[in-house]
Amino acid sequence: PTAVEDQELLLASAKANLERHVLFGLQGDYAGSLRLLGAQVAALLERDKPDPYLREHFRLSPRFAGREVNTLHRNVTGPEYAPAAAAAAVLREHNRADLALYAHAVELFAARARRLGVEVAPPPPPPPARGR
């Protein structure tokens, strides 16, 4: 496919995934919703091969790798939402059309969770420091 066709296919896929993300959230399946969102962003990063520093940063970021659902949930529902929004803004510069959908999904989820007064388990404590 041409670049334009490829972009249109990606956008159609992103929109369908956003709809599923919202559906999971409406059904109260917050863990499933966040896993889906994280998986989609990870797939987008894999496909577009962004700058290696940015790629590594978000590969290690629980908010976008989907590895720590509670951490993402906490970040989008509490006072720590701002860092997630800032990260979304950085990624949106890399691919505005697609990442705008993901930023919007995070915002929808955050608003929904706040309305429901969802309580989130705290993130696990950091591992103990290892001796050298």
Task: Tell me, yes or no, if the pTM score tops 0.75.
Answer: no
pLDDT higher than threshold 60 for residue 109:
no
The full DSSP string for 62-100 is HHHH-S-HHHHHHHHHSTTHHHHHHHHHHHHHHSHHHHH
Report the mean per-residue pLDDT for the chain: 50
Q: What is the pLDDT of residues 35-47, one digit of tens each?
A: 555 565 555 555 5
Question: Domain boundaries in the chain?
Answer: 3-116
Both tokens of residue 13? 């896929």
Instruction: Find the mean pLDDT for residues 97-108.
Output: 52
